[in-house]
Amino acid sequence: MLMDRRTFMGFAALTAGYGLRCTSATAQTNFPNGPVRLVVPYPPGGVVDVVARNWAEAMRRYGTVVVENVSGGGGTIGAATVARSRADGQTVLFGETGCLIISPSLLKPAPYDPIADFAPVSMLFSADNLMVVNPDLPVKTLAEFISYAKAPENKVAYASAGIGTSTHLTGELFKQLTGASNIVHVPYRGAGPALVDVMAGIVPMCTPNVTTQILDYHRAGKLRILAVCSAARLKIAPEIPTASETLPGMIMRIVGGVIVPAKTPDTIVSQLAQMNQAAVKDERLVMSLNNAGLELRTDLSVAAAREFLKQESDRLHPIMKMAGIQAQ
């Protein structure tokens, strides 16, 4: 838990110290007027948690930020906590598309509406999914794997980090686009165990989000990355082709950022967005993103964040429906 124990100074004085202008509207909102509670809907130590804590450190220039891990339900418990919180900007969700779009749609009734119950401040980072196979599999390209997977004599399975994760949706989208309906899904409790079994040859393929560790395994020959499921090649690994170069539409990723309850005043949302614009220049935050293999989003505005969530929701739900994905 991150806590700045120094006495919180007035927002106007702090923003003046950091060269930010405090308008009359900003002064009237008196934000922040106490410690900001940053809810991370996953356990400590994961990628989202690490980035959230570094974001909190970068935001300490404006006051106290307390990180609270409220995990469970695929991120829905923590997200629901924020959705029900007072809409004053003092409670913030550090969420991503898993807890905002995928997980709530698997629950009946849904614990919240990701569009109606939240106000996105900024989409901060993204992590593309990968098509990864055991290096002993007789394929070196995605095109070769498609042919291999569709051959009736081959028994192909893919490992995911669990039901309803982006890794699960990656495999199902691949099946839908290729017609390789015979591929079997093997859900694991997390991406780590799935990756271990792929390297051991127990499961031939997995679809994890990109990390620097997986890139290292690929370069060491411990596994083979066939493609990255993004519109453009990775800046940190431009030699890896995109899946869409072979299979148009094969795009999957998680995107995360800063979210507040829906009825939070626009003035406070705008202030948080301005603070975030400054925070993303923090060297420690940028380094944590780079070390995790995540990419800093450039669409940091409030309007871009809202439009992205709507578009991503419209894109992912049909994939889930066609695959018949349900919570177990």
Give the domain ranges of the chain: 11-126+253-323, 130-245
11-126+253-323 is classed CATH 3.40.50.720: no
Q: Please report, for the chain, how many H helices and E strands are present, in that order.
A: 13, 11
- 130-245: CATH superfamily: Periplasmic binding protein-like II (3.40.190.10)
Q: Which of 248, 279, 243 is nearest to 53 (CA)?
A: 279
What span, in angstroms and rounded, lies between the C-alpha atoms of 318 and 177?
Answer: 13
Residue 154 has which token pair? Answer: 């081959």
- Interstrand relation of 130-133 and 224-228 (parallel, antiparallel or unpaired): antiparallel
Spatial contact of 166 and 97, defined as CB atoms under 8 Å apart: yes
In tens digits, what is the pLDDT along the chain, a chain of 328 residues?
444 444 333 333 333 343 333 333 343 456 788 899 999 998 887 778 888 998 999 998 898 999 999 998 889 999 999 999 999 999 999 999 999 999 998 888 899 998 899 999 998 999 899 999 999 999 999 999 999 999 999 989 999 988 888 999 999 999 999 999 889 999 998 888 999 999 999 999 999 999 889 999 999 999 999 999 999 999 889 999 999 999 999 999 999 999 999 999 999 999 999 999 888 888 888 888 887 778 888 667 888 888 988 999 999 999 999 999 876 5
pTM recorded for the entire structure: 0.81
Q: Take residue 252 and report the two structure tokens written for it.
A: 């999957």
d(CA 175, CA 201): 21
Which residue type sits at 238? P
Can you give the C-alpha Rg of the chain in angstroms? 21
Per-residue model confidence as pLDDT tens digits over 106-148: 888 899 998 899 999 998 999 899 999 999 999 999 999 999 9
Q: What is the per-residue pLDDT across 139-177, written as a single tens digit (0 to 9) for each? A: 999 999 999 999 999 989 999 988 888 999 999 999 999
Q: Answer yes or no: same fold for 11-126+253-323 and 130-245.
A: yes
